[in-house]
Amino acid sequence: MWEAITANKRRSRVLLALMALLLVALGAAVGGSMTPRPQEGAAIGALVAAVIWLIMLVAAYYRGDLMVLASMGARRIEKQDAPRLWNVVEEMTLAAGLPSVPRVFVIDSDAVNAFAVGRTPEKGSVVVTSGLMRRLGRDELQGVVAHEIGHIVNLDIRFMTTAAVLVGSISLVSEIFLRGMVHGGSRGGRRRSSDGGGGRGQGQAVLLILALVLALLAPIFARLLYFACSRKREYLADASAARLTRYPAGLASALEKIARGGAKLQSKAKNLMVAPMFIVNPLQKMSVTGMFSSHPPTDKRIAVLRSMAGGAGYAEYESAYRGVTGAGKPCLGPRTLASETESVVVREPTPEPKAKQDAIERAREALDLVDGMAGLLFLKCMCGVRIKPPPDLKRKQIPCPRCGRMHDLSLATTLAANRARAAEGKEEPTAPEGEAEQVYRPQSHKGWESLACRCGNKVQLSPALQAEHIRCPRCQRTIKIES
């Protein structure tokens, strides 16, 4: 993907420069139309717009991913929260050669969708919906995650994250000006008429018309620039996913499910700037193409992946892409194709368990994850029953509904708070100095037991344990084991 990465950097610079000029022009027109001296007002407006642009650019670069994640209500999870999803992310991270495993976030939504954000491959994040976890099998989930990992490897995440915030800032400035004109237009008109006429008044009127036109068209132009640079990226990410998984049919099947099951995220889909970042745009019809489409038609993407006969490498994807789309220009550059010295053989599909049982397990994992995000405390009894008491339960103990064994709930509030901290991506909790020692009395010495540390981590106790103290591997808190 050498050409893709180089092109991404070049297009990103051009796009950001064009957006900057667009915002400065809007600021100059607005400033010139709001003051009796159009030239001075235009200069001040342009300067203010440039300052706003610089502030938003720095914020987008360093905090853009957090802004996007917060706008979508994404919550960070750890490996123990969703082992199946986390293992797939780890596999694709190793296959792609990334320096570290991306952070994993989940959106509580029945929609089937995913996207990636971040500034660098070391700071990347993969975001999926709970509906995607529930409805996709392992190969399909692997294809979607590999697609998002492809965006991280190709440095798409830096451009998409930064552009999303900057396009939003242009829309915000335009909306503020238009609302100001609606609510203060008559007063401004009277002031301009009394300030003097002649050429000055005519120049101010021209700038006012220009400001209105720019305020209406600037967000549209910004989005067109944004969409134009994002369409080809989806094909490149699909090619990366096919190569990383060595199973193009997995991603194709996932895209088919997304197309059938719906990618819309209810009210969250109203976020126009984040929608193009998803693997399938929740605001765009699957077969739509043109200037106002951020993604190529989903049916063509599926056809390309289904047409990859004889291999899962870049050469096979390029051949399938040209055959399906009939495009004259190549999708992958010659340097990328030449870098693949060996053919990538399509692997066999992963043996799936019984369909009904697999669907139940996927639904249970997604439900447990959503319940955990809601702050519920998870307790597993020795008899196998899982108990989910609410964090605000006033009782100190709760019995198992099957065997009657009592479970301590005194740590429910602390566990819920620490889980919330982990979901927000904050630092790992540590045991405070001078804190009273935690004590645990085993229920039985005949089998494995799971105790909850005050930091929220679950510690497993072996039936052969002889030590009087153990240490939590997460917060290093010492826990006394009473006999």
Is 148 assigned a catalytic role?
yes
Question: Between residues 281 and 239, which one has the greater pLDDT?
Answer: 239
Q: 3-state DSSP call for residue 340?
A: coil
At 425 the pLDDT is 52
In a domain, 368, yes or no: no
Distance CA 96, CA 243 (A): 9
* Residue-averaged pLDDT of the chain: 78
Determine the structural domain holding residue 10 and report its residue range.
1-352
**Does residue 468 sit within a domain?**
yes
Give the DSSP H/E element, type plus range, for residue 117.
Answer: strand 114-117
Considering the candidates 148, 234, 318, 365, report the single residue annotated as catalytic.
148
* Distances in whole angstroms, Cα of residue 121 to Cα of each of 9, 99, 116, 148, 223: 14, 7, 11, 11, 25
Q: Does a structural domain hold residue 360?
A: no
pLDDT class of 455 with cuts at 50, 70, 90: confident
Instruction: Tell me: pLDDT of 136 over 90.
Output: yes
Q: What is the pLDDT of residue 268?
A: 45
Q: Of 461 and 157, which is predicted with more confidence?
A: 157
Domain end (from 317, 352, 387) = 352
Q: Is the dihedral of CA 145, 147, 149, 155 positive or negative?
A: negative
Identify whether residues 385 and 347 lie together within a single domain: no
Per-residue pLDDT, averaged over 247-254, amounts to 95
Q: Does pLDDT of 116 surpass 90?
A: yes
* Residues 126 and 244 occupy one common structural domain: yes
Amino acid at 198: G
Higher pLDDT, 50 or 208: 50
Q: Quick check: is 363 in a domain?
A: no
Share above pLDDT 70 across residues of the chain, in percent, rounded to a whole number: 78
Residues 322, 452: one domain? no
Question: Does residue 243 sit within a domain?
Answer: yes
Are 48 and 26 a contacting pair, CB within 8 Å?
A: no
346 and 413 belong to one structural domain: no
Within-domain flag for 370: no
Q: What is the pLDDT of residue 270?
A: 47
Q: Rounded to whole angstroms, how far apart are CA atoms 291 and 183? A: 33
Q: How confident is the model at residue 204 (pLDDT cuts 50, 70, 90)?
A: low
The average pLDDT across 126-142 equals 93
Residue 178 lies in a domain: yes
CA angle 289/294/295 to nearest 5° reads 65
Confidence of residue 271 (pLDDT cuts 50, 70, 90): low
The domain tally of the chain equals 2
Residues 342, 380: one domain? no
Arithmetic mean of pLDDT, 51-69: 84
Same domain, 348 and 379: no
**How many other CB atoms are there within 10 angstroms of residue 45's CB atom?**
25
Q: Are residues 241 and 329 in the same domain?
A: yes
Question: Is 337 in the same domain as 380?
Answer: no
Q: Which two tokens stand for residue 268?
A: 């969250």
Between residues 189 and 262, the one the model is more confident about? 262
Claim to verify: residue 402 and residue 340 sit in the same structural domain: no
Same domain, 138 and 239: yes
> In the predicted model, is pLDDT for residue 413 greater than 70?
no
Q: What is the mean pLDDT of residues 372-388?
A: 74
Residue 37: pLDDT band (50, 70, 90) is confident
Question: Does residue 366 lie within any of the structural domains?
Answer: no
Per-residue pLDDT, averaged over 114-142, amounts to 92
- Do residues 304 and 416 share a domain? no
Q: Which of 78, 153, 148 is nearest to 115 (CA)?
A: 148
Residues 6+ apart with CB under 8 A from 100: 93, 121, 122
Whole-number pLDDT of residue 159: 78
pLDDT of the residue at 289 = 60
Same domain (yes/no): 282, 383: no
Instruction: Summarize the confidence of residues 155-159 as an average pLDDT.
Output: 82
